[in-house]
Amino acid sequence: MISAAFEQIILIVTIVAQISLILLLLSSRRHALVRWVIIALATLCVIWPAGLLLFITQTSDLAFTTAVVKVYYLDGAMIGVLLVILAHLLPYRRKIALKLKALLALVVGVIAVITLLPNGMIESVNLGGDHNSVTLNTPLYFVYVAFFGLVIAITMTLFMLGYRKAIRDKQHKIAAQTRTMIAGLAVALGFGFWFNILLPFWGDYGYVWAGPPFTLLFVVAMFYAIIGQGLFDLRAALARSTAYLLLLATMVASYAIIVFTVTNVFFGHNNQRATLLTYVLLALFFTITYPPIKKFFDQLTYKLFYRDDYDIKESLADITEVTSEELQLEKLVRRSLDVLHESLAPSYISAYIVDDEGKIRHYTSGPQPPTPHQRKLQLEVVGTLLDRLPRVIDAHDSQVLSETGAQQRIRKADVSMLLQFVVQREHIGALFLGDKQNGTQYNEKDLQLLTTATDELALAILNSQRFEEIQHFNDTLQSRVDSATKRLRRSNQELKKLDKAKDEFVSLASHQLRTPLTSIKGYLSMVLEGDTGKINTQQRQVLEQAFASSERMVHLIGDFLSVSRLQTNKFTIELSPTDLNRVIEQMVASVHPIAAERKVKLSFDGVVSKRHILLDSAKIQQVVMNYLDNAIYYSRPGGKVTVTLDYLDKEAVFKVNDDGIGIPKEEQEALFTKFYRAQNARKKRPDGTGVGLYLVKKIVTSHGGSVIFTSKEGKGSTFGFRIPIKEPYKDS
């Protein structure tokens, strides 16, 4: 015979244990429906043993005991109903349809009528004897038992179906949790059915106390399962409760010590003033010490319960380091995922990044990456739903999910947390996390880390996308420049070829022209010298014109040939002892007829010395000729052209000065370049070529000298050269 005290202790322990579990559940901050169902269930599981306790300890009050008996029978029935609801909600948290709700209400009504009515199922309550007992109305009790049988069958079937589905969907964790619940439930229901339904049915009322402890087993199994599912954060609840208990203990102890010390030691017993003073002191003490003591215990318990925890500041610093170091998108995202994975240890963490063209890139880290099917679902969420979803989704918070309508996809995709990357209302991707590997749910600290990290990462991602765009742009720009350069090079080669062909043509043509021209000049000179008979003055004038023109043509051809030689690098200087003064004299003499014709006064002021210096005489003739020719042609009728030659210490200085049209200031810079002709010159002499000065400069610099040039538009110009004097070697 088990002693009555033992029975009572068992029931009291059960009650206390259930109440603590309820308190833990209440302290959790989540508000899922299933949590409330479990709280209600646990409460009913408290009422039941409490009723039984009252029942077995009552000895006299029959009416009260009868009421208690009725209540715990009804309570038992309600436990059954809640079990059905729970089995419906777990493990997949289906919605409860209206029809089911109505059916359950009806069943509760019927059972309530059967149990509560006077002369109902409970015929009489018998106090005294070995133990108190209840006489039951057999047919009605049969209904009650049948109801229980049905409840057990439905609950078990629903749980088994959930289990099979979890296995089919390869959701191993849910399957394991469901298995635990089925085992706990089977034991609790089995024993409860035996001790509290069958034995009383057969009239043995001595073991009613034995059923409730087994409900504890079930409630604990449920706890285990829902902790695994992340329905609430057990660690946070435990930490908070412990901190609170320690705080309470410290406060009570200090209270006791202060009251004892102040009243007894200092004032002796029953001193009213002392008691009053104590209370004031206590009030002061609590006001001052409460916050620091609370903080101290909070930190202590936090350390105790979160020993394996990460430091949020460090993790965020790591994220900042990554975002500031990495510009390349893939590296940026992968490294950030690694940091988050190290801190939170989720089964997986995936990032989906949407680019400007709507393409989605995907990165994953973690030991249990989503299956291809789950990834497809996640992609669908990212591709179509992001802007309709809240920025942060905790998949265990069924309220948020049912509002968004994304419930199905997110559940099936094995997502525990979803955080979006949003920059200035632009949704550029999302972070998906599986459950934490240690089985706890994401707590507020995790959430803080995740939200701060995603915000920071979102900006960095946007930056990196812009950077990639610019880089891409640079690449295309570079390749365009490259191909344009290639095209230019090709056409440049073409041009060079054409230029060469032109040079060859000019050179050929010039050569071909020179021979007939020389013979024309020769014949003209014969006629002029009277070899073909006497000529009159008029004929002489005409012939002299013809001779001068042919002379000029010879020079022009000479210029062309020289330029073409310059192009083909065949231009050479052949120095020979030359009397420069004499050369200039001859050239001035040869242009006299032209000057006279254009009514230009031409004078030469040379040197007396018959000194010979080293020059390429033919080329210097070209230089002098060009200068003289220009000065005469760009002078006005009546103008004056003065030619001078000086031998200075080390150089010969030759100048041709005119008072002609001059050269506009802005055009002077381009002078001496090939084919350049000033605007005013084009009008004055449309048949000019623009090669003369170019050639002059080449020849003068080839002699180691420099050109002289000053001019004023409308006033005249001075052209010339300075050439270093090189004496020919004298034979000793």
User: Which residues contact ligand ADP by CB under 6 A?
Assistant: 626, 630-631, 634, 658, 660-663, 671, 677-678, 681, 688-694, 717, 719
Q: Which segments within 424-522 are labelled E, that is strand?
A: 426-433
CA distances from 266 to 85, 261, 277, 297 (A): 63, 7, 12, 31
Do 681 and 662 form a contact (C-beta atoms < 8 A)? no
Would you say 66 or 657 has its CB closer to ligand ADP? 657
Q: How far is the CB of 482 from ligand ADP (least distance, A)?
A: 39
Shortest distance in whole angstroms from residue 554 CB to ligand ADP: 15
Peptide bond into 200 cis (omega under 30): no
CA distance between the termini of the chain: 157
How far apart CA 410 and CA 434 sit, in angstroms, is 11
Whether the Cβ atoms of residue 433 and residue 304 lie closer than 8 Å to each other: no
Closest approach, Cβ 520 to ligand ADP, in A, equals 22
Query: Would you report the helix, strand and coil content of the chain in percent, each value rounded to 5?
Result: 65, 10, 25
Cβ proximity to ligand ADP: between 236 and 625 the closer is: 625
Q: How far is the CB of 648 from ligand ADP (least distance, A)?
A: 23
- The phi-psi region of residue 352 (left if phi > 0; otherwise alpha if psi is between -120 and 50; otherwise beta) is beta
Residue 436 DSSP code: B
Nearer to ligand ADP, 489 or 682 (CB): 682
Q: Looking at beta carbons only, is 266 or 675 nearer to ligand ADP?
A: 675
Calpha distance 166→41 (Å, rounded): 24
Q: What's the CA gap between 726 and 598, in Å, rounded?
A: 37
Comparison of 30 and 677: residue with beta carbon closer to ligand ADP: 677
What are the start-end ranges of the E strands in 217-367? Answer: 349-354, 360-365
Half-sphere CA count of 300, side-chain side, radius 13 A: 13
The helix (run of H) or strand (run of E) holding residue 348 is: none
Q: DSSP label at 666?
A: G
Q: Angle at CA 216, nearest 5°, toward 210 and 221?
A: 135
Q: CA 664, CA 657: separation in Å to the nearest integer?
A: 17
| Min dist. Cβ of residue 604 to ligand ADP (A) | 16
Of 529 and 687, CB closest to ligand ADP: 687
Instruction: Supply the minimum distance, in Å, between the C-beta of residue 534 and ligand ADP.
Output: 38
Which is nearer to ligand ADP, 131 or 698 (by Cβ)?
698
The CB-of-600 to ligand ADP minimum distance in angstroms stands at 11
| Residue number with CB closer to ligand ADP (240 or 655) | 655
Q: Which is nearer to ligand ADP, 429 or 660 (CB)?
A: 660
Q: In terms of CB distance, is 366 or 558 closer to ligand ADP?
A: 558
CB atoms near residue 668 (< 10 Å): 17
Q: Which residue number, 327 or 653, has a Cβ lying nearer to ligand ADP?
A: 653
Tokens encoding 196: 């509290």
SS3 for 17-49, per residue? HHHHHHHHHHHCCCCCHHHHHHHHHHHHHHHHH
Give least dist CB 579 to ligand ADP, A. 25
Nearer to ligand ADP, 431 or 678 (CB): 678
Closest distance to ligand ADP from the beta carbon of 673 (Å): 9
Q: How far is the CB of 687 from ligand ADP (least distance, A)?
A: 8
Q: Which two tokens stand for residue 699?
A: 């020849």
The two three-digit tokens of residue 537, written as one number: 């003055």
CB of 662 to ligand ADP, least distance (A): 6
Count Cβ atoms below 10 Å from residue 410 Cβ, excluding itself. 22
Structural contact between residues 621 and 552, judged by C-beta atoms closer than 8 angstroms:
no
| Helices (H), ranges, 137-195 | 138-168, 172-192
Query: Could you tell me the smallest distance in angstroms from the CB atom of residue 644 to ligand ADP?
Result: 15
Least spacing, CB of residue 607 vs ligand ADP, in Å: 23
* Closer residue to ligand ADP (CB): 163 or 627: 627
Q: In 215-254, which ranges are E strands?
A: none
